[in-house]
Amino acid sequence: MLPYLVAAIIVIGLPTLYVAMRYREYRKLLAGAFFVSSGMQFYFYLAKIPIPLMWTSAVQSPELSAVRGTVHFVLFLICLYFGWFFRGGRRAD
């Protein structure tokens, strides 16, 4: 399973990171997505709902949902700042 996860991070994660660093509108989109995801993950934690993982017999515990919700909220704050408030200026060298 680990090789598949590493391959998914490389194939999907790196292009997403490149686009997020380059385009401000994409960071705005990610801010909204991370906000919704963090809210859902905290809800699953507070309601003590275990989440089954598709095509496996594994189940995500509510405690893991709390950790994921925290990570997604931090990513929301980062994307919110760099997508909406930060104005990166180019220096004239």
Q: Is residue 10 part of a domain?
A: no
Low-confidence ranges of the chain (pLDDT < 50): 92-93
Q: How many domains does the chain contain in total?
A: 1
pTM equals 0.76
The pLDDT of residue 23 is 86
Does some domain include residue 50? yes
For residue 89, the model assigns a pLDDT of 61
Q: Enumerate residues 6+ apart whose C-beta is below 8 A from 82.
A: 24, 27
47 domain residue, yes or no: yes
Containing 67, the helix (H) or strand (E) segment is helix 62-80
Query: Would 11 be classed as within a structural domain?
Result: no
Alpha helices in the chain (DSSP H): 2-8, 14-22, 24-46, 62-80
For residue 3, the model assigns a pLDDT of 86
Domain containing 35: what range?
24-85
Query: Would you say residue 15 lies in a domain?
Result: no
Residue 42 lies in a domain: yes
What pLDDT is stored for residue 90 in this prediction?
A: 57
Distance of alpha carbon 55 from alpha carbon 58, whole angstroms: 9
